[in-house]
Amino acid sequence: MSTTAGTGPAPCRFAHYFVICGMDTETGLEPDESAREHFEQSPLKRSFRSKILAHFPENVDRNPFNQDAVNMLCMPEGLSFRTQSDSRDPQFHSFLIPRADGSRSYGFTLTFYEQVRSSSIRSAMETLQQMHQAEHTSASSSSSSSSMDSLASSLDEADTPLAPTSCGGSYDPARDTLYVSKALCLVAPLPFLHACRDFLSQLHRAVAGALPPPLPLESYIHNLLYEVPLPPAGRSLKFHGVYQPIVCQRPGPGELPLAGFPLRVAFQLLGMENLVQVFTCALLEMQILLYSQDYQRLVTVAEVITALLFPFQWQHVYVPILPASLCHFLDAPVPFIMGLSSTEGAERSKLQLPHEASLCFVDLDNSCVELPEDFPQFPNKAEFTQELTEVLQSFGVSVEGSVAVSPSPGSSHLKRQALLELVEDGRNGNLGSDGLAALKRLQALALQTAVAVETAGRAGTEGHAPGQEEELLDAKLNVQLREVFAGQFVSMFANYEAFIIQSAPNLESWVTNREQMQNFDKPSFLWDQPEPNLPFLSRFIETQMFASFIDNKIMSQWEEKDPLLSVFDARVEKFRLYHAHAPNPLSSHYQRCSTSQKSAQAIAQRLLKIDHTAIHPHLLDMKIGQGKYDQGFFPNLQADVLATGPASSNRWSGRTAAAQRRTESHRQQPEHLGLDNGIKEKYMQEARSLGKHQWQPTLSDLSPALIAQTNSRFVEGLLKECRMKTKRMLVEKMGGELVDLGHGEVSLTGLEENTLIASLCNLLERIWSHGLQHKQGKSALWSHLLLYQKREENLELQPTSPVSPDKLKPEGGGAMPPLGVSLTQDMRHIQSLTEIRTEVGRTRAWIRLSLEKKLLSQHLKQLLSDQELTKKLYKRYAFLRCEEEKEQFLFHLLSLNADDYFCFTSVFTTIMIPYRAVIIPIKKLSNAMTTSNPWVCVSGELGDSSVIQTPKNVLEMTFECQNLGQLTTVQLGHDNSGLLTKWLVDCVMVRNEITGHTYKFPCGRWLGKGVDDGSLERILIGELVAPCGEEEAGKPCRTPPLQRSPTQIRRIGITALTGRANKPNAAQIQEAIGEAVKNIIKHFQKSEKEQSLTVLLCGENGLVCALEQFFHHGFRSTRLFQKNAFIWDFVEKAMAYLDSADQMGDLQEAPKPLGLTCETFFRYVSAINATPRNIGKDGKFQLLVCLGARDRLLPHWLPLLAESPFTECMYKESALLRDRATVSTLINVLHELHDFPITLETSFIKGIDL
């Protein structure tokens, strides 16, 4: 290929290809098998295969001609025929062609109708018409049942005609003139919509006009292809069409990238609310299906949505016009934006789509949007939409979302063009007196209907043409609206750089280890955000587009910065400088855009003051007779003059090409790249494996082998996504144990965990929707489960783990009856929840329940074990029928059993849940039963069960109450009635009968008067029992580390009988107190609480336990011939001493703070002693410590106890309480808790009025 300016610098030319698409008279009529054919339709209503008739040039560097894609997208429905009685208005639409490197080419097509001259085509059409009439007469009563195996058949059902006359289309060669569609197309590197539409319209006008154009059409096409350069960034360009000049402009380096499609149209089609919702779906990488009869509407809305994503880029499947032959791509189990053509009268209810659980369905013709469930709102949505509305209103644009205000794009332009043609004919003297009078009437009507015509005659000398006025208004509105969107991202991510984790020394190391490292500190970023923004942001920062954005930022250390990133970073810097003195620039206060007017002015200046005018069209070196004019027929262009460009290019084209080559050369420097192209290519394929390069379908005639290859890539991608999601859930759940994120200790917050689980639910829905034979409901997974449940019920299978109905006998050793593991039982639990009303909601609840029970992999394996059912539901290429990938998928899900999830319990907080409780006594040292009336009260993070009376001689009970959340405490007591009132209890076991979570509440203490500390009520702290085999039933779970009841360790009847436990020394006690205080402080500093405050106060290693050890150190508790002394005895003696001193007036002379301290101490101890609850002496001391910590009184009470005269008689001289330095240190440590609001569970403070 020549390297002259005509063909060499192809990327620097305005247009790459000119294409003519239509009917090939040599091959004749070929039915378009992919265009949803129905032979019961009239031949005029059928579609026939179109072909590329000509394209110029043959090929372009770095953008080879894609014949299949251009043919599909120029005429997505194939050839169509009309007669003189049908509407034959020219139609304009755009399309996109994805390239292998992820970039795009833009196509602009004008379709018009040309009279059929070929006698063979007319004869064929006549024959088809006769056959159709004969078949319709003979088969009037037969109707075929349509299969729903594919989307195409469902589309056909919607618009099948009842009779040929209903189509209004019949062809009689004796009286009808036959016309066939033909398309003129430009393929360009950038979306210059207005310019390309104007050029094609002028070409069509030259063909349809009564007089030939000033020059042969080849001159204008050659000029556009080879002599009109791509305007450089920040410049404007004027070139010439057949009749009028055309202007376009390109944003500067610091401006928002070019977006040639009018946002006005998208807002008018959808309305403000719907457009913002669809935009949010795109940000969250959901599946978006656009639906319209008008191809230009599909492309416009798709391009508008993706343009508004700046600085982020859509990374997945992007097909704004989905050709009929590619409808199977709607089965793709990946995020996508696709546009599907509808037919007039088609019903939405008959449109069967594989993915509806996570699909955003956008009906552009009816301004209707169907959103997925669990949809978060865009931050500051009310203020955001208000600002957008004000911008639109300033341009006089209605945003009601009514289709009536949004005619097909280009229709007003075509009306205006028709008037302009009349003006031109009048100016050229081609209108008679009647025509001139008609023109005057049309001009008067145009004034009333706001169609500007007057200025057309002065466009060349004054101002600019009406088309340029339209482009100027659309461009100014576009940039002002986009600035509002971009401004929100700037304020939202103003500090994003502070959370980027730079963990690789060079690019090669980073690329090699990209999948194993975290590059963004998501928890810390979310903690800095306003709370209302968290539902959206927590999901958005998990998307591929955000990951690629951060990747580009990290790569900018070693490579040239991505252009979009450069623009965004510059805006972030300005924003931070502007808000440098603000108290909190990231507050939830809405930040309005301040740059929209300035950006609009820059565009207006470029369009009003042209920087460059391209070479005018001129005569070419054509043979005599070439380029002959034939009105109404587009000529056969002369390939010899259009195949190559001129020998030398203009100065702009050459200069731009040279700059392009220098840039390419610079990018190929090894020291600049930092790694060879092979590693870089590996990064593009692996690190962004969910991006557009892997998922973008090939727009070509697909062979079975190519379809199989595409599906294989989808399956591989789903498996990889599953592996990455499960790994991410494990790593984040374990926090700093498995990965050092570079920002200290980081734990997974409940919001993040919920986001990751919602993402897993979405993935499972997409896997179960891939390759469906027949769609059963909105959730493919739930439909599969229902069919499995029905089969199981019909077979009347026995449960695999039968549950014994017998009550646990006292001699049973404390083991609860096993809870049955049953997929259908878990389904019935979900089906019984009246709060969940949709299939998608039930599916997600079932997934959460299975995950919490560590049965998700097992349940799905059981579901898929019914191979007969799976084969009936899924096609051969479906993910669920790929055995090897299915096994790996189940293995990845099995890895989630390594952690504990409470994703069902924490989400469905209002449902009623059955619980089973078992009291386990120590039979060897006491009676197995008691004659008293026992009672329990179970408490959790969400509430308590209230007191539940236990029947006598029954140790096991079931009860139902509203979800308690994760269980924390059990209050156990009895009324001390009967003869056998002394009861030694080992523990209490409580199980959630839906989730299977079992909690053990150790006790190891007596209940009864005159034994131990005389308590009739104990507060027990729970620990979660691991869901293992029976041999491990008593072992606690590793995570979360819920604690044992401290009473079992610190003050016991058991150890008193079996030998004194090992006592900690002074250093260990001081260390334990410091650790307990530090754990409480950490609890308040973390957004997600790993342990409840109750455990940190009263559990093992809690504050109460540590202070009890402090007071037990050197305590004279055992006495000959007397009852053992308790710490509470010492507290009561100290209170009595302070009370007597107060009555004698000694405290009145003390400093005021000391007097108040004595008063509060006396009041709190008295209130605890006065409580009607029989909580025992150790329970009273525990309550005093908890109340003192809550009310910030502990450091003030400690000196009173240390200075009490009873300290010397009740404590040895070596006791810590008698060491002033130790007491002083302890007071300082306890003061650290004063900055934190400690709250106590109701079970602790019940009956205490303080």
With pLDDT > 90 as the criterion, what percentage of the chain qualifies?
A: 23
Q: What is the mean pLDDT of residues 406-412?
A: 40
Please, how many CA atoms are within 13 Å of residue 790, restricted to the half-sphere of its CB?
7
**Whether the predicted pLDDT of 195 surpasses 60:** yes
| DSSP class per residue in 108-174 | EEEEEEEE---HHHHHHHHHHHHHHHHHHHHTSS--PPPP-SSHHHHHHHHH--SSHHHHT----TT
Most confident of 79-88, 236-245, 369-378, 676-685: 236-245
- Residue 161 preceded by cis peptide, ω within 30: no
Three-class SS state of 937: strand
Q: Are 276 and 384 in contact (CB under 8 A)?
A: yes
pLDDT band per the 50, 70, 90 thresholds, residue 1146: low
In this predicted structure, what is the pLDDT of residue 1066?
87
In terms of Cα–Cα distance, which of 105, 75, 89, 110 is closest to 200? 110
Question: How many residues make up the chain in this entry?
Answer: 1250
pLDDT band per the 50, 70, 90 thresholds, residue 1247: confident
Three-class SS state of 21: strand
Q: Are 935 and 947 in contact (CB under 8 A)?
A: yes
**What whole-number distance in Å separates Cα of residue 1115 and Cα of residue 1050?**
13
CB atoms within 10 A of CB 270: 27
Task: Give the phi and the psi of residue 185 in degrees, each rounded to 5.
Answer: -135, 140
**Whether the predicted pLDDT of 1105 surpasses 50:** yes
**What whole-number distance in Å separates Cα of residue 224 and Cα of residue 410?**
21
In this predicted structure, what is the pLDDT of residue 898?
86
As beta bridge partners, residue 937 has: 971
**Whether the predicted pLDDT of 664 surpasses 70:** no
**Whether the predicted pLDDT of 45 surpasses 90:** no
In this predicted structure, what is the pLDDT of residue 413?
44
In this predicted structure, what is the pLDDT of residue 784?
93
Query: Which of the residue ranges 253-267, 311-325, 433-447, 604-618 would you say has the lowest mean pLDDT?
Result: 433-447
Give me Rg for the CA atoms of the chain: 39
**What whole-number distance in Å separates Cα of residue 509 and Cα of residue 501?**
14
Q: Are 1034 and 1000 in contact (CB under 8 A)?
A: yes
Task: Give the phi and the psi of residue 682 in degrees, each rounded to 5.
Answer: -60, -40
**What whole-number distance in Å separates Cα of residue 290 and Cα of residue 298?**
6
- Look up residue 387 and give its two tokens: 């600002």
The residue assigned the tokens 């594989």 is: 354
In this predicted structure, what is the pLDDT of residue 620?
85
Q: What is the mean pLDDT of residues 973-987?
A: 82
**What whole-number distance in Å separates Cα of residue 1103 and Cα of residue 1073?**
6
pLDDT digits (tens, 9 = 90+) for 215-226: 889 899 999 999
Give me the CATH code for the 1063-1250 domain, please: 1.20.58.900
In this predicted structure, what is the pLDDT of residue 205?
92
CATH superfamily of 909-1059: PLAT/LH2 domain (2.60.60.20)
**Whether the predicted pLDDT of 290 surpasses 60:** yes
Dihedral angle of Cα 647, 650, 651, 654, to the nearest 10 degrees? -50
Query: Which of the residue ranges 62-66, 586-590, 782-786 would you say has the lowest mean pLDDT?
Result: 586-590
In this predicted structure, what is the pLDDT of residue 460?
36
Q: What is the mean pLDDT of residues 1066-1071?
A: 90
**Whether the predicted pLDDT of 705 surpasses 50:** yes
In this predicted structure, what is the pLDDT of residue 1142?
62
**What whole-number distance in Å separates Cα of residue 889 and Cα of residue 857?**
9
Most confident of 167-181, 542-556, 688-702: 542-556
In this predicted structure, what is the pLDDT of residue 1177?
86
Most confident of 364-373, 620-629, 1145-1154: 364-373
**What whole-number distance in Å separates Cα of residue 150 and Cα of residue 158?**
14
Q: Are 887 and 918 in contact (CB under 8 A)?
A: no
Q: What is the mean pLDDT of residues 332-343?
A: 87
In this predicted structure, what is the pLDDT of residue 100?
65
- Residue 975 is given by DSSP the state -
**Whether the predicted pLDDT of 891 surpasses 70:** yes
**Whether the predicted pLDDT of 1149 surpasses 60:** no
Q: Are 1159 and 1138 in contact (CB under 8 A)?
A: no
In this predicted structure, what is the pLDDT of residue 212?
86
Burial 450-466, CB ≥16 within 10 A → b, else e: ebebeebeebeeeebbb
- Look up residue 246 and give its two tokens: 């055309």
**Whether the predicted pLDDT of 450 surpasses 50:** no
In this predicted structure, what is the pLDDT of residue 687?
42
List the alpha helices (DSSP H) in 749-908. 750-769, 780-795, 823-831, 839-852, 856-864, 867-873, 883-894
Q: Which fold has domain 263-377?
A: Rossmann fold (3.40.50)
**Whether the predicted pLDDT of 64 surpasses 50:** yes
**What whole-number distance in Å separates Cα of residue 38 and Cα of residue 32?**
11
In this predicted structure, what is the pLDDT of residue 191?
93
In this predicted structure, what is the pLDDT of residue 609?
86
Strands 178-188 and 17-22: antiparallel
**What whole-number distance in Å separates Cα of residue 447 and Cα of residue 463?**
19
- Residue 18 is given by DSSP the state E
Could you tell me the residue ranges of all domains in the chain? 10-137+148-254+616-657, 263-377, 472-613, 704-898, 909-1059, 1063-1250
- Look up residue 916 and give its two tokens: 């089973």
In terms of Cα–Cα distance, which of 751, 683, 732, 690 is closest to 521? 732
**What whole-number distance in Å separates Cα of residue 935 and Cα of residue 932?**
10
**What whole-number distance in Å separates Cα of residue 347 and Cα of residue 364?**
14
Query: Which of the residue ranges 927-936, 1006-1015, 1096-1105 would you say has the lowest mean pLDDT?
Result: 927-936
91 versus 931: the higher-pLDDT residue is 91
Mean pLDDT, rounded, of the chain:
77
Residues 6+ apart with CB under 8 A from 1149: none
In this predicted structure, what is the pLDDT of residue 4?
31
Within this chain, domains 704-898 and 1063-1250 share the same CATH topology: yes
**Whether the predicted pLDDT of 489 surpasses 80:** yes
**Whether the predicted pLDDT of 452 surpasses 50:** no
Q: Are 64 and 103 in contact (CB under 8 A)?
A: no
Please, how many CA atoms are within 13 Å of residue 283, restricted to the half-sphere of its CB?
25
In this predicted structure, what is the pLDDT of residue 1064?
85
Give the containing element (helix H, strand E) for 276: helix 272-283
Residues 6+ apart with CB under 8 A from 664: none
Give the orientation angle of helix 263-270 with respect to helix 295-307, to 10 degrees.
Answer: 110
pLDDT digits (tens, 9 = 90+) for 117-138: 888 888 888 888 788 777 776 6
**What whole-number distance in Å separates Cα of residue 914 and Cα of residue 903?**
18
**Whether the predicted pLDDT of 394 surpasses 80:** yes
**Whether the predicted pLDDT of 986 surpasses 60:** yes
**Whether the predicted pLDDT of 522 surpasses 80:** yes
pLDDT digits (tens, 9 = 90+) for 542-599: 888 998 899 888 888 888 888 889 999 999 998 888 876 655 555 557 778 777 777 7
In this predicted structure, what is the pLDDT of residue 424?
45
Strands 948-949 and 178-188: unpaired
976 versus 665: the higher-pLDDT residue is 976
In terms of Cα–Cα distance, which of 963, 1023, 968 is closest to 994? 963
- Dihedral of alpha carbons 374, 378, 379, 381, sign: negative
In this predicted structure, what is the pLDDT of residue 53?
92
With pLDDT > 70 as the criterion, what percentage of the chain qualifies?
A: 75
pLDDT digits (tens, 9 = 90+) for 788-840: 998 888 776 555 544 443 433 333 345 678 887 888 889 999 998 888 888 88
Q: Are 269 and 297 in contact (CB under 8 A)?
A: yes
Q: What is the mean pLDDT of residues 73-91?
A: 87
Residues 6+ apart with CB under 8 A from 559: 507, 672, 673, 674
In CATH, what class is 704-898? mainly alpha
Helices (H) and strands (E) in the chain, counts: 44, 24
**What whole-number distance in Å separates Cα of residue 761 and Cα of residue 756?**
9
Please give the single-letter amino acid code of residue 854. Answer: K
Please give the single-letter amino acid code of residue 822. Answer: S
**Whether the predicted pLDDT of 1039 surpasses 60:** no
- Look up residue 980 and give its two tokens: 């056998």
**Whether the predicted pLDDT of 693 surpasses 50:** no
What percent of the residues of the chain are helix, what percent strand, and what percent coil, each to the nearest 5? Answer: 45, 15, 40
As beta bridge partners, residue 51 has: 22
